[in-house]
Every structure is written in C-alpha cells, then in structure tokens.
A and B are shown apart, each in its own frame.
Chain A
Amino acid sequence: DADVTQTPRNRITKTGKRIMLECSQTKGHDRMYWYRQDPGLGLRLIYYSFDVKDINKGEISDGYSVSRQAQAKFSLSLESAIPNQTALYFCATSDEPGSTDTQYFGPGTRLTVL
C-alpha cells in the first residue's frame, strides 16, 4: 500500500462549491504539507502542520483552510472554489528537519473548477 494516499484523485466542481481534499499517511511522520502545482510555477506551499495541534500558513493560503484530524490525516478545504484554484494538489509528509526533511508525496489530486 502507498505510504501517502490522497482522495479524490480527480475532481471537477463548479465555482462557489465547497471542496475537501483528504490525505492519509502511514509513514508515522508528524509533519504534513499541502502544495499546489501549476505549469511553469512549480510546487507552492499552501499549509503545513508539524503535529496535530500545529497548523501554519504557507506561501499561498488565501482561499484555503486545513484540518489535522490525527497524526495520519490532513485535509485541505476550499470553502468557495474559484476557477484559478484549478491545479494539481499534492499532500506530503516529512521527517524531522534535523535529518533531511525529505518530502514524501502522495499521488496528487487534479482539481478543475468550472
């Protein structure tokens, strides 16, 4: 089984709808991240969490919110989706930065907002 899973893998929705993307991991890492990827812009950090009680905004958090339900689960919500949120979304985990902070990514969710 994959270490980091994301659901759904693909989603098409309409402007104004609320959307939740879910992420689960079995790596036992405390740190979890949400990124979006757009052509030519690379991966940009939306939110990150260092443990269940710790949530932090990333580079592009406007229009998004997150919930860390457990060590293994980190969800991303779009409260009112807009077309420029159409992108590929990745969840990732990492180990402690004292080692390498290597990111382990999920398979991604392709979100289209019409």
Chain B
Amino acid sequence: SQKIEQNSEALNIQEGKTATLTCNYTNYSPAYLQWYRQDPGRGPVFLLLIRENEKEKRKERLKVTFDTTLKQSLFHITASQPADSATYLCALREYGNKLVFGAGTILRVKS
C-alpha cells in the first residue's frame, strides 16, 4: 500500500540548533515533494517545493533534500528559533495524481 510517513513524535530542540525532519514514502513515484508549515488553529502554509530531478533546495534558513533512491526527503531548519515551533507537513504528487499529505511532525524549539 502507499504510505507517507513522518515522525509522529514531537521533535524538541534547543534554540540555535538545526532541526531535521524526515518524510519517508512507500509505493509512490513522486514528481515533486512539498513542505508546509501549520500553526495551531490555522491552515497549512507552503514553504518549499523540490522536484524529482533535484537533490537539494534552499530558502533562507530552510533546506530540503530529496533522495528518490531512499524514498526520503529531509527538511532542515538551521539556527532554529522558538518562532519556528509548529507542525510541518510533507506532501507529494505523482504525475496525473493529486497531492497527498503526510500526518506531520510537531517541532518545538526551546529558548
């Protein structure tokens, strides 16, 4: 069966450290993968997109990697801040299909 797996346990890190979140998938051949941020009581907000032929994408303190052999994407936040605390969702899309979301990982950055 097709699955998108994100760590269900919250990730707790200290301010200033790098947070790394994982998105693994099974039985998908994604054309691209997206990462969203969701704050409590709000809708998800798009952060970054990476295509199947790209290895890495950066935006300010954010970095996404995509390994189609390992079927995994890693999402990094460098120099993390308490304001980065949120739930982070990965989503992938196969050609001709709809975007499919993972359940998300809660990130807590402590000062």
Contacts and interface: CB of A to CB of B under 8 A. Distances in A.
Nearest to B34: A102
B98 A106 contact: no
A70 to B, nearest CB: 21
Given A58-B98, A100-B49, A105 B44 contact: yes
A69 to B, nearest CB: 21
A101 B103 contact: no
Contact of B45 (A35, A94, A105): A105
Contact of B41 (A45, A104, A108): A108
A106 B42 CA distance: 8
Contacts of B36: 103
Interface residues of A, number: 23
A32 B93 CA distance: 16
A34 interface: no
B43 A107 contact: yes
Contact of B43 (A41, A45, A97, A106): A106
B89 interface: yes
Q: Which 10 A-B pairs have the closest CB atoms?
A: A105-B43, A42-B103, A43-B101, A42-B101, A102-B46, A105-B44, A90-B43, A100-B49, A108-B43, A106-B43
29 contacts: A4-B43, A35-B101, A40-B103, A41-B103, A42-B101, A42-B102, A43-B44, A43-B101, A45-B100, A48-B98, A90-B43, A90-B44, A92-B43, A100-B34, A100-B49, A101-B93, A102-B34, A102-B46, A103-B34, A103-B36, A103-B46, A103-B99, A105-B44, A105-B45, A106-B43, A107-B41, A107-B42, A107-B43, A108-B42
